[in-house]
Amino acid sequence: MRVLGIESSCDETGIAIYDTEKGLLADVLYSQIELHMEYGGVVPELASRDHVRKTLPLIQEALQLAGLKKADIDGVAYTAGPGLIGALLVGASIGRSLAWTWGIPAVAVHHMEGHLLAPMLEDDVPEFPFVALLVSGGHTMLVQVDGVGHYRLLGDTVDDAAGEAFDKTAKLLGLAYPGGPAISALAEQGNPDRFRFPRPMTNRPGLDFSFSGLKTFAVNTLAENGNDEQTKADIALAFEVAVVETMVIKCRRVLKQTGLKRLVLAGGVSANRRLRQQLAELVQGHGAQLYYPRPEFCTDNGAMIAYAGSVRLQAGQTEPLAIQAKARWSLAALHPV
Ligand code: KG4
Ligand code: ZN
């Protein structure tokens, strides 16, 4: 089965074609980063308008790259939430309508399920059950995954998501959007002994996260120490170390609590090198295994949507003609496959 995947939940138009026998046949991405950069973050209305412009030409490009015709596609998968509602409606409307005119089934994909299953696009695939740390611009979750659609939410953020904390702190330091890679790059010049940021919610039991206090800590540290370049680099490093260590502490806890030996890391923040390194050390000490997608499949992309959609389509799931998108959508509410 060949599935066309459409991702448009935020500031990336991602289109891919996944073949359930041959794997990924095409994967194209248009990032709107430059469009939003001057505003320091994503402007929802501009995002929707750009998805409208880019989606069909990118679908045409993906078909050409794969050497396929429209008639070779057996199903369409599109991100239906969570995300920016206008942006989601573009992908959902185009995806659902194409499937109708092509006479093939369509399936609505949960964006975070896409991230969660992205490691399945790699050679070394994690077997179920596993625990997943899902860290993106909008979410920070620890999930026990017993199968596709069998998700138990074990931990969540009580305020900002991990990526959001990176983005807000980067803005404060005068860095460009998106903040994650910018903070990591600046942190390389940082002095590790200058500042120590707190590790929020680690001194009490539980698997929830809170990152908004770290941003406030960065505001105060900057105010007290001046904003010369070295101070900014020292803050970037102390912030990154604190976020990463906090996530590592929670992952240690979740491995212990569940007794599971496989940890999956996914979502935009999973591209973070320090986080990958430290989690690799953690799992080693637990006789466990760490899985994560290649960097381009950590951030938003069409491949993960095409893959997740292919699993659901193969299980017989389809969408009715009424087009639906949801800005908020709980991962735990998904149908088991
Ligand atoms: O998954 P994603 O592309 O979009 C959402 O679903 O939100 O994640 C984007 C987030 C942004 O907040 C960005 O700053 C963060 O992922 N990010 C990183 C890195 N690369 C992207 N955060 C930390 N380190 C990185 N290398
Ligand atoms: Zn995402």
Total Cβ atoms within 10 A of residue 147: 10
Q: Does the beta carbon of 138 lie inside 6 Å of ligand 1? A: yes
- State the distance from the centre of ligand 2 to the C-alpha of 226, rounded, in angstroms: 34
- State the distance from the centre of ligand 2 to the C-alpha of 111, rounded, in angstroms: 6
Dihedral pair phi/psi, residue 60, rounded to 5°: -60, -45
pLDDT tens across 274-330, in order?
999 999 999 999 999 999 999 999 999 999 999 999 999 999 999 999 999 999 999
What is the side-by-side strand order in the sheet with 262-266?
150-156, 140-147, 130-135, 262-266, 289-291
DSSP collapsed to 3 states, 188-234:
CCCCCCCCCCCCCCCCCCCCCECCHHHHHHHHHHHHHHCCCHHHHHH
Q: Which ligand is nearest to the CA of 168?
A: 1
- State the distance from the centre of ligand 2 to the C-alpha of 113, rounded, in angstroms: 10
For range 58-64, the mean pLDDT:
99
Q: Which residues of 233-247 are buried (b: 16+ CB within 10 A; e: fewer)?
A: bbbbbbbbbbbbbbb
Q: Does the beta carbon of 82 lie inside 6 Å of ligand 1? A: no
For range 108-135, the mean pLDDT:
98
Q: How much of the chain exceeds pLDDT 90, in percent? A: 98
pLDDT tens across 227-245, in order?
899 999 999 999 999 999 9
For range 146-156, the mean pLDDT:
98
Q: Judge whether residue 98 has pLDDT over 90.
A: yes
For residue 226, name the pLDDT band (cuts at 50, 70, 90): confident
- State the distance from the centre of ligand 1 to the C-alpha of 177, rounded, in angstroms: 10
Contact 143, 331 (CB under 8 A): yes
For range 155-175, the mean pLDDT:
97
The one-letter code for the residue type at 115 is H
Q: Does the beta carbon of 272 lie inside 6 Å of ligand 1? A: yes
Taking the C-alpha atoms of 332, 158, 286 and 146 in order, what is their torsion angle to the nearest 10 degrees?
0
For range 4-25, the mean pLDDT:
98
Q: Judge whether residue 52 has pLDDT over 90.
A: yes
Q: Does the beta carbon of 309 lie inside 6 Å of ligand 1? A: no
- State the distance from the centre of ligand 2 to the C-alpha of 238, rounded, in angstroms: 25
pTM above 0.85, yes or no: yes
Q: Judge whether residue 157 has pLDDT over 90.
A: yes
Q: Does the beta carbon of 83 lie inside 6 Å of ligand 1? A: no
Q: Does the beta carbon of 55 lie inside 6 Å of ligand 1? A: no
**What's the angle, vertex CA 103, arms to CA 99 and CA 104, rounded to 5?**
60
Q: Which ligand is nearest to the CA of 178?
A: 1
Instruction: Tell me the best of 136, 246, 275 to mutate to test the pocket of ligand 1, counting ligand atoms within 8 Å of each CB and taking the most.
Output: 136
- State the distance from the centre of ligand 1 to the C-alpha of 136, rounded, in angstroms: 5
The predicted pLDDT at position 227 comes to 87
